[in-house]
Amino acid sequence: MSTVAADDHHDHVESPYSIKRWLFTTNHKDIGTLYLWFSLIMFFIGGFMALIIRTELFEPGMQFVDPQFFNSMTTMHAIIMVFGVVMPAFTGLANWLIPMMVGATDMALPRMNNWSFWILPFAFTMMLSTLFMDGGGPAGGWTLYPPLTLQTGDALPFVILSIHFMGLSSIMGAINVIATVLNMRAPGMTLMKMPLFVWTWLITAYLLIAVMPVLAGGVTMLLTDKFFGTSFFNAAGGGDPVLFQHIFWFFGHPEVYILILPSFGVISSIVPTFARKPLFGYASMVYATGSIAFLSFIVWAHHMFTVGMPLAGQLFFMFATMLIAVPTGVKVFNWIATMWRGAMTFETPMLFALGFIVMFSIGGFSGLMLALAPVDFQYHDTYFVVAHFHYVLVPGSIFAIVASVYYWLPKWCGNMYSEGLGKLHFWLSTIFVNITFFPMHFVGLAGMPRRIPDYALQFSDFNALATIGAFGFGFSQLIFLYVVIKAIRGGEKATSQVWENAEGLEWTLSSPPPYHSFTTPPVIK
């Protein structure tokens, strides 16, 4: 493979300390960096809100915050973690990696790329500012169900507008990914030669384009119901609040795959490297991703089994949901087969990837339990649901994002991170994440409802345990921040390949890669 890119573009790179460079940049690496830092900052803000929630829940009774504020913390925590952390982090990874992985110089639409990032800080400033408004921030849950959400005070239009902005940003990011993958691949990089991270992101991008506008439509209906006298969800005017749930989850279910499919791509990159074997079943991985994406459109009503659906509807959504376990199982077994008899080593990215596989599967299994319509009536809106989606999102998506940062950080900044601290970060995170979320299964099955600031006495011990775990997990993430900053500032120089068996075009570039990589297209074997 020919690789080395001409370095003659460096003349217009401004100092990393100039604001103008970051404000006006159209470089995919700069924008990727911006996305990742934005996501990390939002991660600590959203995490701080989670700790407020857990502090209140440490003991039964009302101790620290009033219920209204508690509810706005659960709502904001969710909105921030979904739209402000996981989605921007994956878009950041896509920006950094996709052009390097397909052998392109940059993203296809660099100016739009700049725009799609810089919308986000405004959207989230607006979202966070609602906490200081009359009536407080949104407190009806991130699912924004009417009529409760329509009782939000002055914050409602700001929340809806910021959701519009977040949607706009992710749609533009998705369009950029698709245009890059379809048009910018190096000669010889056929679709079925693309790394799986690129494949999973391509499919994710299509999901984003299909469902973000539906969410935009749904929240616009909320807005017109509240301020312009329409009655989409107002029973007094002939509407139906359940309609909102259908619209929301038509977006919401593909959204959960938007949050997890790029993780599958990350894990499919990391496992082969540290098992020193090529990925088992590449083509089946691609088809499994496509199947999951398709199925995600026909399962939404499993989030609302209890609204009074006809039996046929419950059965359809139950079986369609359980069907998703098949392609997901294909993926998990492929990762295991990749490791089978491999010469495995356990550097930090691999540890996080293995943690992902084990704990994401636990979340997948509790998802199967929730998919069963008859028993869902017991689990619905309990802490069991909270345990389920935190298992797929924290040791799932978040672990995958952290794994990819450890994996590609030496490539991005040219320095190795501290392996000892990385491993410490992994073990503390893994222990505390389980202390936090595993007990939630038990209190959920025992009937503790979600989104409540106070609870019955019999749930005390497990809640105290979860709070201890949450603080442990939260503070462990400061190690991550330290490791990242330390690696950026210096350390052992990384080689171009970084990892012994890393394969892919990004490892053929120097570490750190030139500001403009692949100005001459690489030759693909």
Partner 1 sequence: MKTKNNKSATVAGKLALVCVLMFGFGYLLVPLYDVFCDLTGLRFTEETAQLVPQEFTEDTSRLVTVEFDVTRNNHIPWDIRPANRRMQVHPGKVYTTSYIAKNTSNGVMIGQAIPSVTPIAANRHLIKTECFCFASQTINAGEEVQMPLSFMLNPKLPANVNVVTLSYTFFDITQSASVEDQLNAPTAVALN
228 scored as a contact of partner 1 (CB under 8 A): yes
Using the rule CB under 8 A, which residue among 9, 21, 246, 450 binds partner 1?
A: 246
Query: Least CB distance from residue 230 to partner 1, whole Å?
Result: 9
Spell out the residues 6+ positions from residue 446 whose beta carbon is closer than 8 angstroms to its own. Answer: 458, 459
Query: Least CB distance from residue 145 to partner 1, whole Å?
Result: 14
Using the rule CB under 8 A, which residue among 94, 216, 271, 498 binds partner 1?
A: 216
Closest to 103 in 3D by CA, of 196, 4, 184, 205 = 184
Among 88-96, 151-159, 321-329, 391-399, the segment contacting partner 1 (CB under 8 A) = 151-159
Closest to 315 in 3D by CA, of 374, 384, 250 = 374
Q: Is the omega angle on the peptide bond into residue 512 within 30 degrees of 0, that is, cis?
A: yes
Query: Least CB distance from residue 102 to partner 1, whole Å?
Result: 13
What's the 3-state SS for 299-324? CHHHHHHHHCCCHHHHHHHHHHHHHC
Burial class (CB in 10 A: 0-12, 13-18, 19+), 491: middle
Using the rule CB under 8 A, which residue among 19, 229, 283, 525 binds partner 1?
A: 229
139 scored as a contact of partner 1 (CB under 8 A): yes
Name 415's bridge partners. 493
Query: Least CB distance from residue 105 to partner 1, whole Å?
Result: 9
**Rounded Cα distance, 31 and 383, in Å:** 37
Q: Can you tell me which residue has the tokens 């930090």?
A: 348
Using the rule CB under 8 A, which residue among 87, 166, 171, 330 binds partner 1?
A: 171
236 scored as a contact of partner 1 (CB under 8 A): yes
Closest to 514 in 3D by CA, of 105, 24, 32 = 105
Backbone angles phi, psi at 248, to 5 degrees: -60, -45
Using the rule CB under 8 A, which residue among 121, 135, 342, 512 binds partner 1?
A: 135
Is 114 in contact with 53 (CB distance < 8 Å)?
Answer: no
Residue closer to partner 1, measured from CB, 14 or 154: 154
293 scored as a contact of partner 1 (CB under 8 A): no
Using the rule CB under 8 A, which residue among 100, 101, 119, 178 binds partner 1?
A: 178
Secondary structure (DSSP) of 132-152: GSTT-S--STTTT-TTTGGG-
Residues identified as active-site? 77, 106, 142, 169-170, 253, 255, 257, 268, 302-303, 328, 331, 450
Is 203 in contact with 261 (CB distance < 8 Å)?
Answer: yes
132 scored as a contact of partner 1 (CB under 8 A): no
User: Residue count at the site for partner 1 (CB under 8 A)?
Assistant: 51
Using the rule CB under 8 A, which residue among 86, 87, 108, 198 binds partner 1?
A: 108
Residues forming contacts to partner 1 in the complex (CB under 8 A) are: 68, 108-109, 112, 134-136, 139, 150-154, 171, 174-176, 178-180, 182-184, 209-218, 221, 226-229, 232, 234-237, 240, 243, 246-247, 250, 308, 310, 313
